[in-house]
Amino acid sequence: MVAKPGLDGHDRGARIIARAYRDAGFEVVYSGLHQTPEEIVEAAIQEDVDMIGLSSLAGAHKYLFPRTVELLREKGADDIVVCGGGIIPEEDIPALKKVGIKQVFTPGTPLDVIVKWVEDNVKPR
Amino acid sequence: MSRITEKVRAGDVRTVARLIRDIDDGMPEVRGTLKDLYPYTGNAYIVGITGAPGVGKSTLVDQMLSHLRGQKKTVGVLAVDPTSPFSGGAILGDRVRMQRHSMDEGIFIRSMATRGHFGGLTQSTRSAIDVLDAMGKDYILVETVGVGQDEVDVVKSAHTTIIVVIPGMGDDIQAIKAGILEVGDIFVINKADREGTDKTLNELRLMIEMSQNKYDEGRWKPPILKAQAAFDKGIAELLEEIEGHRSYLNKAFGGLHFRKRKDKVREELAGMVKNRLIEGVINKLTETGEFDAAVKSIVEGKMDPYTACDNLVLPKLDFSAE
């Protein structure tokens, strides 16, 4: 699932990565803008996804990303891998990884690098 | 009752979601569960919604969800999107239009890609519908892009099929497969604030009358409705027509259970038998290497495909050999 938590006004990056995943043969459920962590987690469970890619451009990552991981844990769905992308300062990344965000992809990361990481690190079921 | 069956009947979201995934992936253990669940199906009312991309199906479904929840009904949604023929991947974006309902416990929304399926789209969707039915949903809405024969066939699994078009489709309507016009029970012209609505309505009426069977007294005559899904216009009327069709079906067939309808049962069983055979035969032939050997001889120009096929299949079809 490619999800946009928070107040970001546009989602070009998320759409680009969604397309890259599709071209790599993945099935991508796209959540749309302005999602709460609760909505994202509920949708991810209904769709039985293997991974959630969270995209944030406006600084919401510090609260919304960990909150998403927390909710997955509460619902017994923490086998779903969570990754982050967007405008995320390097110095915030260690904290994110500590709470369970498996990988963070900053702007400029080549799409094929991201896709390869997913292929190598996210096992279906 | 197996544990999984219990959980599905109790409405456990995670179990249902995983089960649908297993159906998608053709996991063999699914058959046992589906057999267990079958007696609990037959309660949900199934509505198919199909039409060209961009006509507003998802928006329509989103509004229908609000109205149905207003009536305190529970709903399952299957939103089917096309798989890329090039990469085998898919972007499943119908959910975007319905996300406001994702926190509603009375609604379960699931996206499916057309070609992720073992045994074909129709069978997998049919099984997923059975699961949502057994889960206890009052209504199941199945949304597909009606451009391929598969997608058209999916809506045959529904009690009521809604075809959605937009004004000005003109030549596009001509291009719509005749199959779609025949399976439509209700037609909706969405975005009806646009120019050309009445023209489209008349064209549609003409085409429907030509493609559907002659109307005998008492047979269902498909209505054509105008709507603006984005503005919640025409939705209440649509639901009324669905209820009307439901009453008609009840009267005409003495009940809504598909099990009572020989034609539907025949169709479903034929489809299942076909898929099972294909599964069994091709797997076996691949295992024994016969299939690859046949491919090789065709490529090497030693044999034509018709002969190769007969050599592979005919010995297996000999029913007299016990």
Domains of chain A: 2-116 (3.40.50.280)
Q: Is B27 among the domain residues? A: no
Cβ–Cβ under 8 Å, residues B86 and A30? no
Q: Would you state the torsion angle of the CA atoms of residues B112, B116, B121, B127, taken in this order, to the nearest 10 degrees?
A: -70
CATH of the domain at B133: 3.40.50.300
Measured between CA atoms, the residue of chain B closest to residue A77 is: B14
pLDDT for the residue B46? 94
Considering only CB atoms, which chain A residues are within 8 Å of B91?
Answer: 18-19, 22, 28, 30
Chain A nearest C-alpha distance from B301 (Å) = 34
> Which of the residues B92, B97, B107 would you substitute to probe the A interface, choosing the one with the greatest number of A C-beta atoms within 10 Å?
B92
Do B245 and B288 lie in one domain? The reply is: no
Q: What is the mean pLDDT of chain B?
A: 85
Q: Which among A22, A35, A45 has the least Cβ separation from residue B99?
A: A35
Q: Which among A35, A38, A77 has the least Cβ separation from residue B14?
A: A77
The backbone torsions φ and ψ at residue B48, rounded to the nearest 5 degrees and listed phi first, read -100, 140
Do B196 and B292 lie in one domain? The reply is: no
Q: Which among A39, A48, A77 has the least Cβ separation from residue B99?
A: A39
Considering only CB atoms, which chain B residues are within 8 Å of A53?
Answer: none
Do B177 and B238 lie in one domain? The reply is: yes
Do B156 and B305 lie in one domain? The reply is: no
Q: Is B9 among the domain residues? A: no
Q: What is the mean pLDDT of chain A?
A: 93
Domain count within chain B: 2
> Which of the residues A15, A47, A73 would you substitute to probe the B interface, choosing the one with the greatest number of B C-beta atoms within 10 Å?
A47
Query: For residue B125, is pLDDT > 80?
Result: yes
What distance in Å separates the CA atoms of residue A104 and residue B39, rounded to the nearest whole number? Answer: 47
The neighbour count for residue B299, using CB atoms within 10 Å, is 9
CA B153 to chain centre: 6
Q: Is B25 among the domain residues? A: no
Q: Is B248 among the domain residues? A: yes
Do B293 and B166 lie in one domain? The reply is: no
Tokens encoding A12:
């070009």
> Which of the residues A2, A11, A27 would you substitute to probe the B interface, choosing the one with the greatest number of B C-beta atoms within 10 Å?
A27
What angle, 0 to 180 degrees and rounded to 10, lies between the N-to-C axes of helices B290-299 and B305-313? 170
Lowest mean pLDDT among B58-67, B90-99, B107-116, B309-318: B309-318
Considering only CB atoms, which chain B residues are within 8 Å of A24?
Answer: 87, 89
H-only helix segments in chain A: 12-23, 37-47, 61-74, 93-98, 111-121
- Which residues of A fall below an 8 Å CB-CB distance to B? 18-19, 21-32, 35, 38-39, 42-43, 45-48, 75-77, 125
Q: Is B291 among the domain residues? A: yes
Q: Verify whether the Cβ–Cβ distance A45 to B13 is below 8 Å.
A: yes
Which of B122-126, B155-159, B245-249 has maximum average pLDDT?
B245-249
Do B140 and B210 lie in one domain? The reply is: yes
What distance in Å separates the CA atoms of residue B160 and residue B185, rounded to the nearest whole number? Answer: 6
Tally A–B CB contacts below 8 A: 80
Q: How confident is the model at residue B231 (pLDDT cuts 50, 70, 90)?
A: very high
Considering only CB atoms, which chain A residues are within 8 Å of B92?
Answer: 27-30, 47
Do B130 and B105 lie in one domain? The reply is: yes
Do B147 and B279 lie in one domain? The reply is: no
Chain B nearest C-alpha distance from A20 (Å) = 10
Percent of chain B with pLDDT over 70: 87
pLDDT digits (tens, 9 = 90+) for B34-59: 999 999 998 999 999 988 888 899 99
Do B208 and B276 lie in one domain? The reply is: no
Q: Verify whether the Cβ–Cβ distance A31 to B20 is below 8 Å.
A: no
Residue that finishes a domain, picked among B230, B256, B282: B256
Q: What is the mean pLDDT of residues B82-97?
A: 88
Do B281 and B133 lie in one domain? The reply is: no
pLDDT digits (tens, 9 = 90+) for B142-194: 998 866 666 667 777 889 999 998 888 665 565 555 666 777 899 999 999 99
What distance in Å separates the CA atoms of residue B297 and residue B304, rounded to the nearest whole number? Answer: 8
Q: Is B31 among the domain residues? A: no
Q: What is the mean pLDDT of residues B113-121?
A: 66
Q: Is B35 among the domain residues? A: no
What distance in Å separates the CA atoms of residue A83 and residue A49, rounded to the nearest whole number? Answer: 13
Structural domain range at position B176: 42-256
Q: Which among A25, A32, A48 has the least Cβ separation from residue B17?
A: A48
Do B198 and B294 lie in one domain? The reply is: no
What distance in Å separates the CA atoms of residue B263 and residue B281, rounded to the nearest whole number? Answer: 27
pLDDT digits (tens, 9 = 90+) for B180-220: 677 789 999 999 999 889 988 888 888 877 766 655 556 78
Q: Verify whether the Cβ–Cβ distance B14 to A23 is below 8 Å.
A: no
What distance in Å separates the CA atoms of residue B200 and residue B250, rounded to the nearest whole number? Answer: 31
Query: For residue A123, is pLDDT > 90?
Result: no
**DSSP per-residue letters across A35-70:** B-HHHHHHHHHHHT-SEEEEEESSSTHHHHHHHHHH
Q: Is B2 among the domain residues? A: no
SS3 for A110? Answer: coil
* Exposure of A80 in the CB half-sphere (CA atoms within 13 A): 30
Do B293 and B149 lie in one domain? The reply is: no
Instruction: Categorise residue B217: left if φ over 0, alpha if ψ from -120 to 50, beta otherwise.
Output: beta
Measured between CA atoms, the residue of chain B closest to residue A30 is: B93
pLDDT digits (tens, 9 = 90+) for A20-45: 999 999 999 999 899 999 999 999 99
What distance in Å separates the CA atoms of residue B175 and residue A81, rounded to the nearest whole number? Answer: 44
Q: What is the pTM of this model?
A: 0.88
